[in-house]
């Protein structure tokens, strides 16, 4: 039985559809990452799941019981969950009291309260600051308090809304470690949102893509990154090469696509004449100075238009009648002497191409 | 000008010598003003919370109306309470006119708009995420309201200080519903008014200074409480 | 700690409410007295004497005669001591009061600047007012508050043959202060004006003023203080028995003597002439 399930969940705001027929199932112990651009409706969905707001239509089940509207069940169910809101605010009280609030509301004895809070503060490395007013702490520390007071409740379901938004890289990695720890040790069911698709990939084991109020694809992070269902998802998950074309031949899972006069071969099954996009991840493209005889069927000569370093890597823009982005190491740039204006051969395997039907 | 110096000297003399009558009057002023403010707070904090948290038609109008009552003359409230509590009035049977209780009721009515209005402004100054955070951590509606009030405690204390200042400094109401009965309903302000009528300006000024002194002490105590 | 303070504060308030409610049970006797009797300090001497003798809490509420009568009508006080004969008689005919018992009297004074710009010194009150009206040479400050003193002033104007409404509009020399007796005296002092005052208040203020008694003659200026118990038949709930005790107390020879001597030591003049048992001509 799923721990939480939604059926046709819709939310309207001023006549505008924020969420459209959301159907979500999260099993106990599962970790789901909701990814999607800003404004896609991620926060709205989490607020509905935490029963803070009431949906316009649709139902929510928690451990098999419908909890959508009945006031009493709602507040009881809410106490089985904990929600770290996107903008973490701390109460104007000590760090200790901030973490203790939720436990106090649950009527926990003084002794147990002390032990639980102290333990949690230890976990999030905030013991030294326990008597400080929480308002005086840094953004990263405040986020840690927010997570601490949520996990102190030992919730069955933990909802995290953009837990690392607006934090510095060190704080981000600390928070991610903390979340990884929770997943590892407590086996808590978690639903978290992020607009940072890499975080979605780093942390959870299941990803749902929410764009424009609709869940467009659910699956393992690998599925979503390599085989996005449509162009929008592909763009969001960072598939930089999305090349439009038409299927010209199709036989036994091998298709050829005509794009700007060039032919691309790919492993897929689409009928001839279908308008498609070919998605190629930039790291799957290899560059060479000469046309190497290789098993790769797709090899194109092109002129280097731009070389942009990104951390240890370089992003190379090549014009081979269609625009192609490749991601190579800095070392390769030196060895191959990749400079602007130079002609180069770009090669990618037929299996590296993901074909999506183009929507009209 | 000479009267002011005399008044100051007299005030110091009265404070230092712990004049029993002055002590009694000051104590009564303090007690009546504090009681009325505490009662007003007990009534207004929940109502203020209710008005703040509920959405309903005419909310803005209601708040404007409450704020209008900030400036109601004390004499008008005094007359209202007088008519209410007078033996022939609707609540005459309680026999409360010319008692400290009547003064507490009157001052409470006087400061209710202040406490209510300023509580609502205090609450609207609180981050909207606070109540959501509380609820998400499992707080019920009442617990949420308490959290928000706690967050607003500085502004709420300021509201109480305002209310206390108005209560302890008003004279019109205290005279009308209290009657300035010696040893029973006589407070600092009514004594000032009496001494002025009797022409003892120095004593009147001295009492004024003592009243300010009491207000200072109370403000210090309240400020101390809120910073904890 | 903080919680303790809050709890003790609430306890304090609740206890206060209870005790103050207990404090106002029927054992208290309420008397509304005219300001001029109160401001002279007479009541602060009489109060403990009465309380001692009858073992009753006496609440003295000082107010103008008009308000004092109103308190009586509403049953908010048990006894009134006032000085406005016409109003008192109406109070009794309307059934609110039982009997009017005069217990002291004195005279109203017209006081003014020593220079006496309108030259009214030694005249009777009516003549003085006629002269003020005719010459406009002096400023006159009126209480203008329907108090006993103000009523007295109106009576003098009527006796002098003027309609009070025309007096009010007579000119800039006629000022309606709208204040109590003390502040009115101070106002007259500042403006070097004449005013009508009761003797008691003038005595207590004398040392602060440059004003001197100018007119003290005329039967109209007679000022009689009387006590009236509120009638329980008309106003239910008032404390008639204790009220009568207070009236007998005021009329008792011992207290009459005290009233007669009151103020001589402090102000150098006799403020009140005892009148209990004396058949008043007024």
**What CATH number does the domain containing B60 carry?**
1.10.3720.10
Q: Do A106 and B150 touch (CB under 8 A)?
A: no
Q: Do B130 and A89 touch (CB under 8 A)?
A: yes
CA A151 to chain centre: 22
What letter would DSSP give residue A358?
P
Which of B98, B104, B225 shows the shortest C-beta gap to C76? B98
**Whether residue A1 has pLDDT greater than 90:** no
C-beta of residue A129 within 8 angstroms of C-beta of residue A117: no
Q: What is the Cβ-side half-sphere exposure of residue C56, based on CA atoms within 13 angstroms? A: 22
Residue of C nearest to B194 (CA): C39
R_g (Cα) of chain A, nearest Å? 25
Q: Do B98 and C44 touch (CB under 8 A)?
A: no
Which of B89, B184, B197 shows the shortest C-beta gap to C35? B197
C-beta of residue B5 within 8 angstroms of C-beta of residue B79: no
R_g (Cα) of chain C, nearest Å? 21
What letter would DSSP give residue A352?
G
Q: Do C74 and B181 touch (CB under 8 A)?
A: no
Span B58-86, mean pLDDT? 93
- Separation CA C210–CA C202 (nearest Å): 11
Residue of C nearest to B179 (CA): C61
CA torsion angle for A298, A299, A301, A306 (degrees, to 10)? 80
Pairing label, strands A286-288, C28-34: unpaired
Average pLDDT over all residues of chain C = 86
C-beta of residue A234 within 8 angstroms of C-beta of residue A242: yes
- Separation CA B180–CA B99 (nearest Å): 9
pLDDT tens digit sequence for A185-213: 888 899 999 877 777 777 767 889 999 99
**Whether residue B63 has pLDDT greater than 90:** yes
B30–C contact, CB cutoff 8 A: no
Span B3-32, mean pLDDT? 87
Q: Which of B125, B133, B153 to mutate to test the interface with A (most CBs of A within 10 A)?
A: B133
Residue among A314, A320, A317, A348 nearest A334 (CA): A314
C-beta of residue B211 within 8 angstroms of C-beta of residue B30: no
Which helix or strand (DSSP H or E) is residue A73 part of?
Answer: helix A71-78
**Lookup: tokens for A120:** 């949690």
CA torsion angle for C50, C54, C59, C60 (degrees, to 10)? -30
Contact call for A and B: 3+ CB–CB distances under 8 Å: yes
Q: Which residues of B touch A83 (CB under 8 A)?
A: 136-137
**Whether residue C11 has pLDDT greater than 80:** no
Per the model's pLDDT, the better-predicted residue between B201 and A132 turns out to be A132
Which of B127, B138, B143 shows the shortest C-beta gap to A89? B127
C-beta of residue C109 within 8 angstroms of C-beta of residue C218: no
What pLDDT sits at residue C24? 47
C-beta of residue C201 within 8 angstroms of C-beta of residue C39: yes
Q: Do C74 and B86 touch (CB under 8 A)?
A: yes
Which of A87, A92, A105 shows the shortest C-beta gap to B137? A105
- Separation CA B99–CA B104 (nearest Å): 9
Q: Which residues of B touch A91 (CB under 8 A)?
A: 130, 133, 147, 150-151
Q: Do B137 and A150 touch (CB under 8 A)?
A: yes
**Whether residue B179 has pLDDT greater than 80:** yes
C-beta of residue B73 within 8 angstroms of C-beta of residue B142: no
The whole domain housing B79 covers 2-227
Residue B138 — left, alpha, or beta (φ > 0 → left; ψ -120 to 50 → alpha)? Answer: left
Q: Do A52 and B135 touch (CB under 8 A)?
A: yes
What pLDDT sits at residue A294? 60
- Separation CA C77–CA C70 (nearest Å): 9
What pLDDT sits at residue A234? 86
Q: Do B182 and C60 touch (CB under 8 A)?
A: yes
Most confident residue range from A16-20, B63-67, B206-210: B63-67
Q: State what percent of residues in chain A have pLDDT above 90.
A: 31
Residue of B nearest to A76 (CA): B138
C-beta of residue B185 within 8 angstroms of C-beta of residue B81: no
Residue A8 — left, alpha, or beta (φ > 0 → left; ψ -120 to 50 → alpha)? Answer: left
Q: Which of B2, B30, B101, B111 to mutate to test the interface with C (most CBs of C within 10 A)?
A: B101
What pLDDT sits at residue C281? 44
Q: What number of C-beta contacts closer than 8 Å exist between B and C? A: 96
Distance in Å, alpha carbon of A90 to nearest chain B alpha carbon = 8
B138–C contact, CB cutoff 8 A: no
Interface of B with C in 78-117 (CB under 8 A): 86-89, 92, 95-101, 104
Q: Which residues of C touch B36 (CB under 8 A)?
A: none
**Lookup: tokens for C106:** 């004195």
Q: Return the percent helix, strand and coil in chain B, to nearest 5.
A: 80, 0, 20
Q: Do B199 and C205 touch (CB under 8 A)?
A: yes
Q: Is B102 exposed, middle or buried (0-12, 13-18, 19+ CB in 10 A)?
A: buried
The DSSP bridge partners found for residue A251 are A254
Residue of B nearest to C63 (CA): B179
**Whether residue C23 has pLDDT greater than 50:** no
Contact call for C and B: 3+ CB–CB distances under 8 Å: yes
What letter would DSSP give residue B42?
H
- Separation CA A282–CA A274 (nearest Å): 24
* Cα diameter, chain B: 65
**Whether residue C157 has pLDDT greater than 90:** yes
- Separation CA C162–CA C154 (nearest Å): 9
C2–B contact, CB cutoff 8 A: yes
Residue of B nearest to A146 (CA): B133
- Separation CA C253–CA B167 (nearest Å): 45
Residue B182 vs residues B21, C5, C72: alpha-carbon distances, Å? 10, 31, 19
Q: Which of B175, B182, B223 to mutate to test the interface with C (most CBs of C within 10 A)?
A: B182
pLDDT tens digit sequence for A3-24: 999 999 999 988 888 999 999 9
CATH number of C107-221: 3.40.190.10
Residue of C nearest to B225 (CA): C2
Phi and psi, residue B140, nearest 5°: -80, 180
Confidence of residue C112 (pLDDT cuts 50, 70, 90): very high
**Lookup: tokens for C218:** 């005329």
Distance in Å, alpha carbon of A301 to nearest chain B alpha carbon = 56
Which of A79, A89, A92 shows the shortest C-beta gap to B133? A89
Q: Which of A89, A131, A156 to mutate to test the interface with B (most CBs of B within 10 A)?
A: A89
Q: Which residues of B touch C61 (CB under 8 A)?
A: 98, 179-181
Q: Which residues of B touch C75 (CB under 8 A)?
A: 86-88, 92
Most confident residue range from A240-249, B37-46, C261-270: B37-46
**Whether residue C7 has pLDDT greater than 80:** no
- Separation CA A330–CA A338 (nearest Å): 10
C-beta of residue A42 within 8 angstroms of C-beta of residue A61: no
Residue of B nearest to A85 (CA): B133
pLDDT tens digit sequence for C32-57: 998 878 888 889 899 999 999 998 99
- Separation CA C75–CA C243 (nearest Å): 12
C-beta of residue A231 within 8 angstroms of C-beta of residue A275: no
What pLDDT sits at residue A223? 84
C231–B contact, CB cutoff 8 A: no
- Separation CA A155–CA A98 (nearest Å): 17
Q: Do B100 and C2 touch (CB under 8 A)?
A: no
What letter would DSSP give residue C130?
H
The CA-CA-CA angle for residues B21, C269, C46, to 5°, reads 40
**Whether residue C203 has pLDDT greater than 70:** yes
Sequence ranges of chain C with CATH classification 3.40.190.10: 27-106+223-274, 107-221
Sheet of strand A241-251: strand arrangement: A262-267, A254-259, A241-251, A275-280, A353-357
C-beta of residue C145 within 8 angstroms of C-beta of residue C178: yes
Q: Residue written as tokens 């904890």?
A: B228
Into how many domains does chain B fold?
A: 1
Span B152-159, mean pLDDT? 89
pLDDT tens digit sequence for A44-72: 999 999 999 999 999 999 998 899 887 78
Q: Do C39 and B95 touch (CB under 8 A)?
A: no
C-beta of residue A86 within 8 angstroms of C-beta of residue A33: no
Residues in chain C: 282
Sheet of strand C212-215: strand arrangement: C174-176, C140-142, C194-197, C109-112, C212-215
* DSSP E strands, chain A: 4-13, 16-26, 31-35, 57-62, 65-66, 81-84, 157-161, 189-194, 206-211, 214-219, 241-251, 254-259, 262-267, 275-280, 286-288, 298-310, 313-320, 322-329, 343-348, 353-357
Residues in chain A: 360
Task: Mark out chain A residues that contact chain B at CB-CB < 8 A.
Answer: 47, 50, 52, 75, 78-79, 81-85, 87, 89, 91-93, 101-102, 105-106, 149-150, 153, 159
**Whether residue B89 has pLDDT greater than 60:** yes
Confidence of residue B153 (pLDDT cuts 50, 70, 90): confident
What pLDDT sits at residue B223? 82
Per the model's pLDDT, the better-predicted residue between C25 and B148 turns out to be B148
R_g (Cα) of chain B, nearest Å? 20
Q: Do B194 and C57 touch (CB under 8 A)?
A: no
What pLDDT sits at residue C10? 62
Cα dihedral sign for A336, A337, A340, A343?
Answer: negative
B179–C contact, CB cutoff 8 A: yes
- Separation CA A70–CA C29 (nearest Å): 61
What pLDDT sits at residue C237? 81
Average pLDDT over all residues of chain A = 87
What pLDDT sits at residue C282? 44
Q: Residue written as tokens 């405040």?
A: A142
What pLDDT sits at residue C280? 45
Q: Which residues of A touch B138 (CB under 8 A)?
A: 75, 78-79, 82, 102, 105-106, 153
C15 contact partners, CB below 8 Å, separation of at least 6: none
- Separation CA C124–CA C121 (nearest Å): 9
CA A201 to chain centre: 6
Q: Which residues of B touch C79 (CB under 8 A)?
A: none
Residue B153 vs residues A88, B146, B161, C23: alpha-carbon distances, Å? 20, 10, 12, 36
- Separation CA A292–CA A215 (nearest Å): 43
Q: Which residues of C touch B185 (CB under 8 A)?
A: 59
ipTM: 0.76
Concatenating the DSSP letter of every residue in A242-305 gives EEEEEEEEEETTEEEEEETTEEEEEE----TT-EEEEEE-GGG-EEESS----S-SEEEEEEEE
Q: Which residues of B touch A85 (CB under 8 A)?
A: 129, 132-133, 136
The CA-CA-CA angle for residues C265, C271, C277, to 5°, reads 115
Average pLDDT over all residues of chain B = 90
Stated pTM of the model: 0.75
Confidence of residue B61 (pLDDT cuts 50, 70, 90): very high
**Whether residue C92 has pLDDT greater than 70:** yes
Q: Which of B137, B151, B226 to mutate to test the interface with A (most CBs of A within 10 A)?
A: B137
For domain C27-106+223-274, the CATH superfamily is Periplasmic binding protein-like II (3.40.190.10)
């Amino acid at each position: 039985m799923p721990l939480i399930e939604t059926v046709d969940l819709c939310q309207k705001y001023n006549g505008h559809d924020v969420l459209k027929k959301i159907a979500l199932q999260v099993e106990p112990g599962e970790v789901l990452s909701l990814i999607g651009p800003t404004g896609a409706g991620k926060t709205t969905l989490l607020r509905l799941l935490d029963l803070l707001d009431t949906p316009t239509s649709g139902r929510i089940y928690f451990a098999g019981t419908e909890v959508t509207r009945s006031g009493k069940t709602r507040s009881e169910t809410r106490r089985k969950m904990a929600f770290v809101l996107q903008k973490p605010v701390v109460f104007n009280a000590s760090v200790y009291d901030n973490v203790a609030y939720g436990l106090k509301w649950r009527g926990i004895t003084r002794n147990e309260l002390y032990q639980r809070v102290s333990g949690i503060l230890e976990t999030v490395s905030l013991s030294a600051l326990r008597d400080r007013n929480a308002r005086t702490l840094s953004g990263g520390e405040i986020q840690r308090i927010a997570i601490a007071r949520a996990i102190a409740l030992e919730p069955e379901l933990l909802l995290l809304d953009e837990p690392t938004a607006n934090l510095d890289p060190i704080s981000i990695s600390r928070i991610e470690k903390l979340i990884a720890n929770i997943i590892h040790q407590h086996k808590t069911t978690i639903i978290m949102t992020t607009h940072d698709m890499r975080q979605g990939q780093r942390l959870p084991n299941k990803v749902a893509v929410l764009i424009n109020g609709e869940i467009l694809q659910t699956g393992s992070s690998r599925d979503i990154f390599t085989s996005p269902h449509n162009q929008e998802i592909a763009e969001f998950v960072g598939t930089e090469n999305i090349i439009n074309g038409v299927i010209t031949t199709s036989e036994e899972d091998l298709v050829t696509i005509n794009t700007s006069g060039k032919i691309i071969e790919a492993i897929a099954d689409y009928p001839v004449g279908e308008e498609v996009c070919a998605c190629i991840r930039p790291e799957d493209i290899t560059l060479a100075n000469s046309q190497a005889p290789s098993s790769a069927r797709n090899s194109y000569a092109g002129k280097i238009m731009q070389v942009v370093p990104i951390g240890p890597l370089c992003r190379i823009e090549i014009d081979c009648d269609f625009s192609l982005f490749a991601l190579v190491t800095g070392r390769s740039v030196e060895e191959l002497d990749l400079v602007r204006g130079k002609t180069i051969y770009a090669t990618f395997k037929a299996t590296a191409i993901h074909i999506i039907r183009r929507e009209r | 000008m000479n009267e002011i110096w005399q008044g100051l000297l007299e005030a110091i003399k009265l404070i230092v010598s712990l004049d029993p009558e002055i002590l009694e009057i000051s104590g009564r002023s303090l007690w009546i003003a504090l009681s009325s403010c505490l009662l007003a707070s007990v009534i207004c904090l929940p109502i203020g919370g209710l008005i703040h948290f509920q959405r309903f038609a005419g909310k803005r109008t209601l708040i404007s109306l409450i704020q209008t009552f900030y400036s109601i003359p004390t004499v008008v409230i005094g007359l209202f309470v007088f008519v209410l509590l007078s033996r022939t009035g609707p609540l005459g049977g309680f026999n409360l006119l010319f008692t400290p209780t009547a003064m507490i009721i009157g001052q409470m009515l006087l400061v209710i708009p202040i406490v209510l209005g300023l509580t609502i402004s205090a609450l609207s100054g609180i981050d909207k995420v606070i109540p959501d955070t509380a609820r998400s951590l499992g707080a019920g509606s009442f617990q949420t309201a308490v959290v928000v009030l706690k967050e607003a405690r500085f502004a709420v204390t300021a509201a109480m200080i305002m209310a206390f200042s108005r209560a302890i400094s008003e004279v019109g109401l205290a005279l009308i519903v209290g009657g300035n009965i010696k040893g029973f309903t006589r407070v600092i302000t009514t004594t000032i008014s009496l001494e002025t009528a009797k022409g003892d300006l120095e004593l009147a000024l001295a009492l004024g200074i003592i009243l300010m002194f009491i207000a200072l002490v109370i403000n210090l105590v309240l400020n101390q409480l809120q910073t904890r | 700690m903080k919680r303790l303070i809050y709890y003790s504060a609430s306890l304090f308030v609740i206890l206060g409410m209870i005790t103050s409610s207990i404090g106002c049970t029927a054992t208290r006797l309420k008397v509304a007295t005219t300001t001029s009797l109160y401001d002279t300090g007479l009541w602060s001497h009489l109060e403990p004497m009465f309380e001692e003798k009858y073992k009753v809490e006496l609440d003295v509420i000082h107010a103008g005669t008009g308000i004092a009568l109103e308190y009586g009508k509403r049953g908010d006080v048990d006894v009134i001591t006032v000085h406005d004969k016409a109003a008192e008689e109406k109070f009794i005919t309307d059934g609110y009061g039982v009997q009017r018992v005069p217990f002291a009297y004195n005279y109203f004074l017209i006081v003014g600047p020593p220079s006496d710009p309108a030259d009214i010194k030694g005249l009777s009150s009516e003549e003085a007012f006629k002269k003020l009206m005719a010459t406009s040479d002096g400023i006159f400050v009126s209480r203008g508050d329907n108090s006993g003193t103000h009523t007295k002033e109106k009576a003098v104007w009527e006796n002098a043959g003027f309609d009070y409404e025309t007096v009010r509009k007579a000119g800039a020399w006629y000022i309606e202060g709208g204040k109590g007796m003390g502040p009115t005296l101070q106002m007259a002092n500042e403006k070097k004006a004449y005013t009508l005052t009761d003797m008691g208040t003038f005595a207590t203020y004398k040392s602060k003023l440059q004003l001197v008694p100018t007119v003290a003659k005329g039967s109209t200026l007679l000022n009689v203080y009387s006590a009236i118990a509120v009638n329980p038949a008309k106003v239910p709930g008032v404390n008639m028995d204790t009220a009568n005790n207070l009236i007998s107390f005021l009329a008792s020879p011992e207290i009459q003597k005290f009233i007669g001597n009151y103020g001589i030591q402090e102000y150098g003049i006799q403020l009140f002439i005892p009148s209990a048992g004396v058949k008043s001509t007024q």
